């Protein structure tokens, strides 16, 4: 998608307030995709440091290229919406001290769980929901392009994670389960907060065509999609890996 697609976007056919909101959301997606490229580039280094199999390293490199393409696609949408994309601040990817001091094998495992198992699975859930509703405009085109890449990233199935867990002691596995819970719980809390006060009978996925056409969710639908992805995809995957107790909701 290039300048012609941006020029073809008819902003006047959309609610101005929604267009303004969409500019901010897509600008934040530029930042998020940029951070993902940085984190995955660091993951490549970690895989090299632990002598991971070459196909896994090459797959991670492909992911970096995909994320950089997503940056460019999201920038196009921001321009189509009348904005100017930027970069996250600070530009350098911050890393907690504990992460920097950890051995490469632990850093690689942490990145694999947090980014590829948890975040990637949730992201595919959001994108898949939008892709079916966003139509054939600029935003729908970009959503489907990003979904095609992320769905091909293994959809949360990461050989490094399975290999590492197979070699773990029960105590080490429990530590990784606690790490996983720390990654997951903030997502679940945000969904619970968004649905606070919404009666169960009203927790339905309304279509929201005006939002979907701009690649947006209302907070309620986003929370419901997250809950569905957690229930149907992510939680069963974590239980199968031994990173989530089957009895824990």
Give the pLDDT band of residue 1 (cuts 50, 70, 90).
Answer: very low
What average pLDDT does the segment 184-202 reach? Answer: 95
What average pLDDT does range 194-219 have in this prediction? 93
**Given pLDDT bands bounded at 50, 70 and 90, which one contains residue 4?**
very low
Q: Give the residue-averaged pLDDT of 219-242.
A: 96
- The CB-side HSE value for 147 (13 A sphere, CA atoms) comes to 17
Give residue limits of the domains in the chain. 15-84+93-241
Q: 3-class DSSP state for residue 92?
A: coil
Give me the pLDDT at residue 151, please.
83
Q: Which of 211, 239, 238 is CA-nearest to residue 225? A: 211
Closest CA to 32 of 122, 128, 113: 122
pLDDT in tens, 54-99: 999 999 999 999 999 999 999 999 999 999 999 999 999 998 898 9
Could you tell me which CATH class the domain 15-84+93-241 is placed in? Answer: mainly alpha
Give whole-number Cα distances, 242 to 105, 112, 114, 149, 229, in Å.
19, 15, 15, 27, 18
State percent of the chain over pLDDT 70. Answer: 96
């Amino acid at each position: 998608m290039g300048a012609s697609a941006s020029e073809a976007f008819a902003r006047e056919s959309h609610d101005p307030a929604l267009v303004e909101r969409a500019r901010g959301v897509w600008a934040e997606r530029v930042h998020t995709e940029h951070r993902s490229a940085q984190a995955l580039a660091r993951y490549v280094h970690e895989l090299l440091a632990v002598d991971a199999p070459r196909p896994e390293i090459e797959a991670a490199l492909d992911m970096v290229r995909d994320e950089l393409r997503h940056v460019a696609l999201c920038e196009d949408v921001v321009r189509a919406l009348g904005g100017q994309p930027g970069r996250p601040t600070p530009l350098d990817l911050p890393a907690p001290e504990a992460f920097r001091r950890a051995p490469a094998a632990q850093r690689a495992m942490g990145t694999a769980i947090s980014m590829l198992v948890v975040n990637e699975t949730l992201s595919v859930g959001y994108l898949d929901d939008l892709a079916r509703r966003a139509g054939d405009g600029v935003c729908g085109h970009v959503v489907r392009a990003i979904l095609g890449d992320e769905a091909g990233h293994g959809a949360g199935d990461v050989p490094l994670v399975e290999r590492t867990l197979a070699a773990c002691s029960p105590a080490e596995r429990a530590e990784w389960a606690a790490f996983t819970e720390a990654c997951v719980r903030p997502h679940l809390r945000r969904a619970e907060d968004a649905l606070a006060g919404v009666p169960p009978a009203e927790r339905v996925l309304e279509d929201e065509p005006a939002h979907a056409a701009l690649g947006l969710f209302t907070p309620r639908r986003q929370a419901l999609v997250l809950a569905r992805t957690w229930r149907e995809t992510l939680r069963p995957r974590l239980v199968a890996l031994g990173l989530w107790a089957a009895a824990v909701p």
